[in-house]
């Protein structure tokens, strides 16, 4: 059940104070009547928030339910564009498909579709993205940039950087980016990014950026090459804190991209990139390429040097293996 505005006010206080608080102290901090505070505390407990109650009547928040809801995602989020509207669902077929549908109905730029589980989550080239309930972050962001098509590849770069920065801020782990948009920790994929463009008749195209992160996903539910943040960190990861950090970092980097700060975004992406200097095998639909990844272009294309010393620029690949 969605939490209401008064509950959010009380939660905001409970999350920012460390010492247990009496009803009177909470009433003073929130501006609510003590009786209202007492009722709200009972409601929060019924909704899964873990609260302790000491003999002297003081309350303290010790845990929140592991779910992503619109009120908690947006409460004092502080973003200017991303998260201007958040639509949270318990389970959907695909947040990507839902975001495209909302785009066709006129949803504004920055709208976020997030689900606790997906029945048909997908990655690049139609691959399945495992999306079990209550364990990961599965979201899609609607963007409507007025940019030339050749500039749009920068969105994938900024998305990868935003995910890496959000993970680091929340867990202190430092993901690496495997060209072009897979995020790895200890050579295991923990997150992926998918961008899709659609056009409606005479309307400008819209873009949906889909992001999937394996947060607390059990290894038994993941493909062999994938990992999770909880596995890497050795303890459970706060999905809500990570999701909020992700929206904040996406907002930061998307606004920078709109302002033309593409060089700084490219530099940040390149710092996280783990592919350069390695021997790689690239599988495209009709050919297999091998060589050394020697550079990336400003648009994110990979420069590959073959055994014959000839370089070529690779804009996309079905798969890439790094040795």
* Average pLDDT over every residue of 39-49: 93
- Examine the pLDDT at 202 and tell me if it is beyond 80: no
Band (86; pLDDT cuts 50, 70, 90) = very high
Mean pLDDT of the chain, nearest integer = 91
- Examine the pLDDT at 201 and tell me if it is beyond 90: no
The residue assigned the tokens 């080239």 is 125
Distances (CA, A) of 180 to 30, 98, 183, 211, 301: 47, 25, 9, 14, 8
Specify the pLDDT at position 55: 87
pLDDT tens string 299-316? 889 999 999 999 999 887
- Which domains, from first to last, does the chain contain? 5-63 (1.10.10.10), 70-272 (3.30.930.10), 279-322 (2.30.30.100)
- Examine the pLDDT at 238 and tell me if it is beyond 90: yes
Query: How buried is 225 (Cβ within 10 angstroms: 0-12 exposed, 13-18 middle, 19+ buried)?
Result: exposed
Question: pLDDT above 90 covers what percent of the chain?
Answer: 71
- Examine the pLDDT at 1 and tell me if it is beyond 60: no
Please give the helix or strand (H or E) that residue 89 lies within, else none. Answer: strand 86-89
pTM for the predicted model, two decimal places? 0.88
Specify the pLDDT at position 123: 67
Confirm if 272 and 265 have CB atoms less than 8 A apart: no
- Residue 59: which of 79, 43, 81, 75 has the closest Cα? 43
Specify the pLDDT at position 61: 93
Q: At what angle do helices 5-16 and 23-30 cross, to 10 degrees?
A: 110
283 pairs with which residues across the strands?
288, 319
pLDDT tens string 99-144? 999 999 999 999 999 999 999 787 665 677 788 999 999 999 999 9
DSSP state of 112: E
Band (294; pLDDT cuts 50, 70, 90) = very high
Confirm if 95 and 210 have CB atoms less than 8 A apart: yes
Band (90; pLDDT cuts 50, 70, 90) = very high
């Amino acid at each position: 059940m969605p939490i209401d505005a008064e509950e959010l006010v009380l939660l905001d206080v409970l999350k920012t104070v460390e010492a247990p608080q009496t009803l009177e102290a909470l009433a003073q901090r929130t501006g609510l009547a003590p009786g209202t505070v007492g009722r709200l505390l009972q409601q929060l407990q019924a909704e899964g928030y873990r609260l302790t109650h000491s003999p002297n009547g003081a309350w303290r928040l010790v845990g929140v339910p592991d779910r992503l809801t619109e009120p908690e995602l947006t409460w004092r989020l502080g973003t200017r564009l991303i998260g201007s509207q958040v639509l949270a669902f318990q389970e959907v077929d695909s947040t990507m498909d839902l975001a495209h549908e909302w785009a066709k109905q006129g949803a504004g730029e920055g709208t976020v579709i997030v689900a606790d589980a997906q029945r048909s989550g997908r990655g690049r080239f139609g691959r399945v993205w495992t999306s079990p309930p209550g364990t990961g972050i599965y979201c899609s962001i609607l963007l409507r940039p007025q940019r030339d098509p050749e500039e749009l590849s920068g969105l994938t770069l900024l998305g990868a950087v935003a995910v890496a920065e959000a993970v680091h801020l929340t867990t202190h782990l430092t993901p690496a980016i495997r060209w072009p948009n897979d995020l790895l920790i200890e050579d295991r994929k923990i997150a992926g990014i998918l961008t899709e463009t659609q056009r409606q008749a005479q309307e400008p195209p819209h873009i949906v950026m889909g992001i999937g992160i394996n947060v607390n996903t059990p290894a038994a539910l993941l493909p062999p090459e994938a990992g999770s943040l909880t596995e890497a960190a050795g303890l459970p990861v706060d999905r809500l804190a990570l999701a909020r950090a992700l929206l904040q970092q996406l907002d930061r980097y998307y606004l920078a991209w709109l302002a033309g700060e593409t060089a700084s975004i490219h530099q940040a992406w390149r710092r996280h990139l783990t592919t350069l200097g390695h021997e790689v095998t690239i599988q495209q639909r009709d050919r297999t390429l091998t060589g050394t990844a020697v550079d990336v272009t400003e648009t994110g294309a990979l420069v590959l040097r073959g055994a014959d010393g000839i370089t070529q620029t690779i804009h996309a690949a079905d798969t890439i293996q790094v040795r």
